Structure 1
Amino acid sequence: MNQLGVRWTADQVLALAPDAASRKAGSRLGSAGPWSDAGSDGAGTLWGLCKGSGSTPYRTAVDLAGAAVASRCSCPSRKFPCKHALGLLLLWAADDPVVVREAEPSDWAAQWLLGRRERAGKQEAGAAQGDAPAAKAADPEAARRRAGRRAARIGAGAAELEQRLADLLHGGLAAAERSGYGLWEETAARMVDAQAPGLAARVRELGSIPGSGPGWPVRLLEECALLHLLDGAWLGRDRLPAPLATTVRTRVGLPSSPEGPAVRDRWLVLAQHDQADSKVTTRRIWLYGQESGRTALVLSFGAAGRAPEITLPTGLVLDAELLPHGGAGQLRATLGEQFGPPALPATPPAGGTTTQALQAYSRALCEDPWLESWPVTLSSAIPVPTGEGWQLADEDGASALPLTRSAQGRSAPWKLASLSGGAPLSVFGECGHRGFLPLAAWSAASPALVALT
């Protein structure tokens, strides 16, 4: 047993895989056959040589000692973790003697681990000193001028976008289908030039609506109204309450930073899932405070095809501090200092009905009108197939929530049906105007969280 004090299950390991292909390939490497010179140091580090198609085996190492999983492999894959790291973790999860034997790390593994520890030490030292050298070198007046110039550019972009929305409405929504996607992409590029990536992303979403199926003009009008509301909020942000003004700044694309005191708790990892576009992969990690009852969202980003750095398996519990970000109704936080090793088990949130889930989302919308979804837990929910897909219904059948289109196209509904067997489940997910996205499930008979992504 390593210093984490808990050995993961195979499901928790495979939940780290960036895609289905990696899960399948990693599972094939979860046996002792292809591995040699493997072991662990009893302090959270695993290593081994994995035979591949070439003459030289791949050097794979995994560090489990921190709050997030870290790995290194000499294979050419840019996925994180790669299939070799997944295979090594599966060996460890199975308590295989090939990898759990305690030994001194191989030279290459020790060198990687030493580099990680040195970088972590420098970061902690910098945080403890308040990054004094950098703060001293910074010019507050220059920073203020840069912020002012960017705000002016965003303002000009918002004003231009308002004119384009007005032209669209005056010309009729039918013209949007005839114009094609090029018009929207050119408008989005203008918002990028204005240093407003949040506005650019919403414009690209507008471009995907025309001709997208029955009722698209209504959806387009709704999204135009929200974009108009955001433009107006930015241009009049000085008159907004401070929390809402912070929300507006983040919605147009300005970076968000922690505000207020750190919150220490035993944080249960409820779910982790990735959202990718052509430029960046965003990892959303939902945490639930065992003592505070608070839900928090940790984001991690991977650019240029790289996977995000932070990886937290569903079901683990972290004794750690979270640094909350500002904004009306927002739950984002940054992972801070960790106290002790992760542990199992934990008590998931109690949850409520589908009606209560919609009410929670409605209340959050009052504080952040651009909110796509809100984290909720459904208790006693039963997956039910319908003519148009799947939904989660309350046990008494009083009401139900349809699953989102993205969830319908994945294996999540079938996993829910398999776990349920017709009996009620507790399901954690994101409830929004597009439906319910299930992320994890458990039952009274089997309280362990099962990842659905």
Structure 2
Amino acid sequence: MSGRPDSVRHVIERWNRDQVLALAPDAPSQKAAQGVSSPGKWSGVGVTADAVWGECKGSGSKPYRACVDLTEPAYKCTCPSRKFPCKHALGLLLLWSAGGVPDAAEPADWTAEWLDQRRARAARPARAERSDPAPDPKRAEQREQRVAAGLEELERWLADQVRQGLAGARRHDQWDGLVKRLVDAQAPGVAGTVSRLGSVLTAEDWPARLLGEYSLIHLLLTAHRRAVPEGAPDALGAGLRQTVRTRIGFSVAKEEVLAGETVRDRWDVLGRRDEEQDRLTTRRVWLRGRTTGRAALVLSFAPAGQALDVSLVTGTTMDAGLAFYPGSAPLRALVAERHGGVSAGAPPGSSLEEALAEVAAALAGDPWLDSWPLVLDRVAPVRDGGWLLGGPDGGLPLHPSAGVPWRLLAVSGGHPLTVAAEWTPRGLLPLAAWNEEGLVVL
């Protein structure tokens, strides 16, 4: 295996401490990793374009062998930890990010063997899988009928809410029974939407926001009613029809998505956000293509307390092909294939005017959209009543939950930055920023 090209060496060295710690499955793992990141703990360390490796002294007679495939990243360690990545892999990355790992022409034998095994598995043709049985038309028709009945009840309930007024909406338990009936009707998407209505009541402007949520639900129900059976002429169009069905809860199989076309580009990983609900943690990772300019959202799920996917590192750029779920404003995607390693550097940004036009186009395709990734060029946090991300052509408000953007203020020092943020109807949620040297700050 040859040594790293200069361009790759420069890119790899730009991984910083924040990016490494963001890979940890939990806060205790972050603390433990810092405890094993000192040079005195390690021996036989080295790094190439593909991997970093080393042996960490533990409590036993033999040191733990840890290595990281930097092109994914992926991890291997001989320790018995069930956390992924373990503290030794994270500690090794911290040591490397601090400049404590020397370059090597080739990886250690045991690391090379693991890398070869990974490459062989990736290159091995997939075994022909048994085709799934054809869907049962009778069962599909029964589900359509259940969903239609559940949505009819929801529409009547909405009409009652508007007729009676919003004064009685302060009771949080009023939606519980309706949510259960929608789940029974096999409409989990809209059931989730109704279950989240209670969170609106904590806002000062809750009547306006609740009425807005009711309006969006009514729009969804109207769109579903106008949709026609698949294969017939559709007044909504195929893309919008699929968006409506997805919002209601008709899922598309992962295999079906991966069997479709892929979009290859150099994808900037803009940031991620974890949300926990009903003992399930959802990780949302935002990406943007450098050539296509397309936005993408990669989701992963895990029971609360268990490790989530950490292969997409904020601040890196990967050459990959993404397969998008169908819809009128395709956003959710799967990483179908990777080409080569990862690089780093600030992504290209847009002006505030261009960003607003992009969001408007996305909302025109999917009116129920509640988030969208943006990369804003030459903006800085400014105070104007509330906090904004301001630039030469105006400013966009930050989400109330963002509070005072202390870290952005410290990084910018009053100077413009490139900032990745998640647009929401209530304001921007900053994800990452790039300083004048092009280094990412989470």
Q: Same fold (TM over 0.5)?
A: yes
**Counterparts of 1:240-251 in structure 2 under 5 Å?**
240-251=236-247
State the Cα deviation string for residues 200-219 of structure 1 (Å, max 9, x = none).
Answer: 22112112223x13221111
What is the deviation of 1:417?
A: 0.5
Partner residue of 2:361 out of 355, 360, 363: 363
Q: How many residues align?
A: 424
Counterpart AA for 2:197:
L
Matched, 1:415 2:411: no
Task: Check conservation: 1:262, 1:322, Cα contact below 8 A.
Answer: yes
SS in 1 for 2:286: strand
Relative to structure 1, is the Cα distance of residues 21 and 359 closer, same or farther in structure 2, using a 3 angstrom cutoff?
farther
Cα distance in 1 for partners of 2:78, 2:216 equals 45
The structure-2 alpha-carbon separation of the partners of 1:77 and 1:417, relative to structure 1 and needing over 3 Å to count, comes to: farther
1:60 Cα offset (Å): 6.8
Change in Cα spacing, 1:141 to 1:435, as seen in structure 2 (3 Å) is: closer
Q: State the alpha-carbon separation in 1 of the partners of residues 237 and 43 from structure 2.
A: 61
Equivalence for 2:231: none
In the superposition, relative to structure 1, how do residues 77 and 260 fare at CA in structure 2: closer, same or farther (>3 Å)?
closer
Displacement of 1:62 = 4.5
Unaligned stretches of 5+ residues in structure 1: none
Cα distance change, pair 431–125 in 1 and its aligned pair in 2 (3 A): same
Residue deviations 1:173-201, cap 9 Å, x none? Answer: 11111x3x223233222222233222122
Of residues 393, 398, 410 in structure 1, which corresponds to 2:390? 393
Partner of residue 196, structure 1: 187
Distance 1:365 1:58 in 2: 55
Following the alignment from structure 2 to structure 1, what is the Cα–Cα distance between the partners of residues 364 and 63?
Answer: 53
In the alignment, which residue of structure 1 is the partner of 2:211? 221
The one-letter code matched in structure 2 to 1:372 is D
Alignment partner, residue 428 of structure 1: 420
Q: Which amino acid aligns with 1:246?
A: Q
RMSD: 3.4
Distance 1:369 1:42 in 2: 44
- State how far apart, in whole Å, the 1-side matches of 2:155 and 2:57 are: 57
- Verify the 8 A CA contact 1:40 1:103 in the aligned structure 2: no
Give the equivalent residue in structure 2 for 1:94.
Answer: 98
Matched position secondary structure for 2:283:
strand
1:83-134 per-residue CA deviation (whole Å, 9 max, x = no partner) reads 443212112323435997943338xx978x7886676566x523xxxx4x41
Deviates more, 1:164-173 or 1:97-106: 97-106
Question: How many Å separate the matches in 1 of 2:237 and 2:186?
Answer: 24
> Cα distance 1:294–1:362, how it changes in 2: closer, same or farther (>3 A)?
closer
- 1:394 maps to amino acid: G
The answer to whether residue 159 in structure 2 is matched with residue 152 in structure 1 is no
- Cα shift at 1:298: 2.2
Q: Which residue of the other structure, out of 385, 397, 412, is the alignment partner of 1:402? A: 397
Residues 168-317 of structure 1: pairs in structure 2 closer than 5 A: 168-177=161-170, 179=171, 181-210=172-201, 212-238=202-228, 239=234, 240-256=236-252, 257-258=257-258, 260-317=260-317
Question: Distance between the aligned counterparts of 1:99 and 1:250, measured in 2?
Answer: 49
CA offsets 1:110-163 (integer angstroms, 9 cap, x no match):
78x7886676566x523xxxx4x411xx32143x44443333332232222223
CA separation of 1:290 and 1:364: change in aligned 2, threshold 3 A: closer
Aligned to 1:321: 321
Q: CA distance change for structure 1 residues 255 and 65 in 2, over 3 Å: closer, same or farther?
A: farther
CA deviations over 1:245-277 (Å, ceiling 9, x no partner): 111122123324357522222222222332332
Distance apart, 1:242 and its partner CA:
0.3
Contact 2:269 2:317 in 1 (8 A): yes
How far is the alpha carbon of 1:327 from its aligned partner?
A: 0.6
Q: What SS does the aligned partner of 1:300 have?
A: strand
Contact 1:403 1:437 in 2 (8 A): yes
Distance 2:27 2:396 in 1: 26
**CA pair 196-69 structure 1, distance change in 2 beyond 3 A:** farther
Contact 1:264 1:322 in 2 (8 A): yes
In structure 2, the CA distance between the partners of 1:98 and 1:366, relative to structure 1 (3 Å rule), is closer
Following superposition, the deviation at residue 335 of structure 1 comes to 0.9
Q: Mean Cα displacement is larger for which, 310-319 or 326-335? A: 310-319
Structure 2 unmatched ranges of 5 or more: 229-233
CA shift in 2, pair 1:32/1:188, >3 Å: farther
Q: Does residue 1:140 correspond to 2:137, yes or no?
A: no
Larger displacement relative to structure 2 (16-25 or 362-371): 16-25
Q: State whether residues 51 and 107 of structure 2, in contact with CA within 8 Å, keep that contact through their aligned partners in structure 1.
A: no
Q: Partners of 1:248 and 1:47 in 2: how far apart?
A: 51
Task: Supply the AA of the counterpart residue of 1:231.
Answer: L
Equivalent residue in structure 2 for 1:381, among 365, 379, 382: 379
**What are the within-5 Å matches in structure 2 for residues 72-87 of structure 1?**
74=79, 78=83, 80-87=84-91
CA contact (8 A) 1:301 1:307 kept: no
Instruction: Give the C-alpha shift of residue 342 in structure 1.
Output: 1.9
Instruction: Provide the rounded CA distance (Å) in 2 between the counterparts of 1:344 and 1:34.
Output: 29
| CA shift in 2, pair 1:141/1:447, >3 Å | closer
Paired residue type of 1:263: V
Counterparts of 2:68 and 2:248 in 1: how far apart (Å)? 37
Whether the 8 Å contact between 2:188 and 2:248 is mirrored in structure 1 is: yes
Aligned in 2, Cα 1:377/1:304: closer, same or farther, shift over 3 Å?
closer
Q: Normalization by structure 2: what TM-score?
A: 0.83
Give TM-score, length-normalised by structure 1. Answer: 0.81
Following TM superposition, by how much is the alpha carbon of 1:405 offset from its aligned partner in structure 2, in angstroms? Answer: 2.7
CA contact (8 A) 1:268 1:290 kept: yes
Which amino acid letter does the alignment assign opposite residue 395 of structure 2? A
- Correspondence for 1:348: 347
Give the 3-state SS of the residue equivalent to 1:17 in structure 2.
coil
Question: Against the structure 1 CA distance between its residues 335 and 99, is the aligned structure 2 distance closer, same or farther, given a 3 Å change threshold?
Answer: same
Measured at CA, do residues 440 and 121 of structure 1 come closer, stay the same or move farther in structure 2, by a change above 3 Å?
same
Structure 1 vs Structure 2: percent identity of aligned residues?
41
Q: Relative to structure 1, is the Cα distance of residues 300 and 310 closer, same or farther in structure 2, using a 3 angstrom cutoff?
A: farther
Does the 8 A contact of 2:71 with 2:340 survive in 1?
A: no
| Aligned counterparts of 1:18 and 1:417: Cα–Cα separation in 2 | 28
Question: 1:320-348 deviations in whole A, cap 9, x for unaligned?
Answer: 21222211112222112222222344x52
